[in-house]
Amino acid sequence: MIFDIYVIVILFVLGLVMGSFFMVVGSRLPKNESIVKPRSHCDNCGHILKWYELIPVLSYVLQFGKCSRCHAKLSIMYPLIEVLNGFLFSLSYALYGFSYEMIAFLIISSILILVFVSDFQYMIILDEPLIIGSVIILLLKLYYFGFNTFTRSIYSGLIMFVFMLLVKLFGDKAFKRESLGGGDVKLVTFFGFVFGVRLSFVSVVLGSFLAFPYAIFCSLSKKNREVPFGPFLILALLIVFIYMEPIKEFLNLFVYGF
Ligand SMILES: [Zn+2]
C-alpha cells in the first residue's frame, strides 16, 4: 500500500516533468524549431527562464501566472497540460500495476498530450511520437506475447492504414477538399498496431462521435472551419484502452448473437 502510493507519487512528478517537455516538443517541432535551443523564454519579452521558473506547475503558481519581468500573462495551457499528464502517468500504475498495459498506457497518454498540443495549435500531428510509439508498442508485444501477436499487430496496422487512406481519397473527391489529414491516417495506423482491427474501428467511430459536438460548435461560431480530428481520435483510443474488456465482450455478443 505504502509502496503503491510511493510509485504513484513518483509517476505523478515524472508526468509533470514529461508534460512540460511535451509542451515544448508539441509547440516547437511543428514550427521546425529546435527542442533544445533557444532556451525556454517568455513569448512576450524574450526573458530567458531561470531554472526555478522551469519547475512545472509550481513556477506558474509562484509567479501568479505572469512573466517575472514583463508581467505578461502566461498561458494556462502549461500547468493544465502538466497536471493532466501527471494524472495520466499515475493512473497507468493505479489501473494496471507494472505490466504491458501500464507501459502501453504511458505511451498512448504521452502521444495523446503531444497530439493535443500540436494539433489544436497548428493542425499538425507530429510523425516522430507516432513512429517512436509504434516501435515501442510492437517490441513490447514481441516481448510479452510472442512472434504471432507481433506479426498480427503489424498486419492490423497496415489494414487500418489502407482503410483510412481509401476513406481519405474518397472523402477528398466527394467534398472536393482535404477530408482527413495525413496525420489522421498515420494516427489510426498506430491504433492498428496497439489494438488490432476490430477495436481500432471502434476507436475511430467513438472519435467521430466525440468530435461531432466540437465540429458543430466550430461551424456555428464560424471562426475556424477546420476541426482537428486527431485529439478526439486519440482520446477515443485511450477510452477504448481503459474499457477494452467490456467492449470486447459487447462485440462478441454482437457478432455471435445474443
Ligand atoms: Zn516576459
Domains of the chain, residue spans: 1-98, 125-258
User: Could you count the other beta carbons within 10 Å of the beta carbon of residue 47?
Assistant: 16
User: Maximum distance among all alpha carbons in the chain?
Assistant: 66
Confidence band, pLDDT 50/70/90 cuts, at residue 193: very high
Closest to 136 measured CA to CA, from 150, 123, 156: 150
**Ligand 1 geometric centre to CA of 65 (Å):** 11
State how far the Cα of 206 lies from the Cα of 227, in Å rounded to an integer: 16
Indicate the SS3 state at residue 41.
Answer: strand
Highest average pLDDT, of 57-61, 176-180, 191-195, comes from 191-195
State how far the Cα of 137 lies from the Cα of 107, in Å rounded to an integer: 8
**Ligand 1 geometric centre to CA of 80 (Å):** 20
Question: Which pLDDT does position 153 carry in this prediction?
Answer: 95
Q: What is the pLDDT of residues 222-257, one digit of tens each?
A: 665 677 888 899 899 999 999 999 998 888 877 665
**Ligand 1 geometric centre to CA of 81 (Å):** 21
State how far the Cα of 48 lies from the Cα of 64, in Å rounded to an integer: 18
Confidence band, pLDDT 50/70/90 cuts, at residue 185: very high
Confidence band, pLDDT 50/70/90 cuts, at residue 56: confident
Highest average pLDDT, of 195-199, 215-219, 222-226, comes from 195-199
Contact present, 72 and 66 (Cβ < 8 Å): yes
Q: What is the pTM of this model?
A: 0.86
Mean pLDDT for the stretch of residues 196-211: 92
**Ligand 1 geometric centre to CA of 86 (Å):** 26
**Ligand 1 geometric centre to CA of 76 (Å):** 15
**Ligand 1 geometric centre to CA of 4 (Å):** 40
**Ligand 1 geometric centre to CA of 124 (Å):** 27
Mean pLDDT of the chain: 88
Helices (runs of H) and strands (runs of E) counted in the chain: 10, 0
**Ligand 1 geometric centre to CA of 53 (Å):** 12
- Could you tell me which residues come within 8 angstroms of residue 32 by beta carbon, excluding any fewer than 6 positions away? none
Residues 119-155 as b or e (16 or more Cβ within 10 Å = b): beeebbbbeebbeebbeebbebbeeeeeeeebeebee
Question: Which pLDDT does position 7 carry in this prediction?
Answer: 96
State how far the Cα of 100 lies from the Cα of 143, in Å rounded to an integer: 9
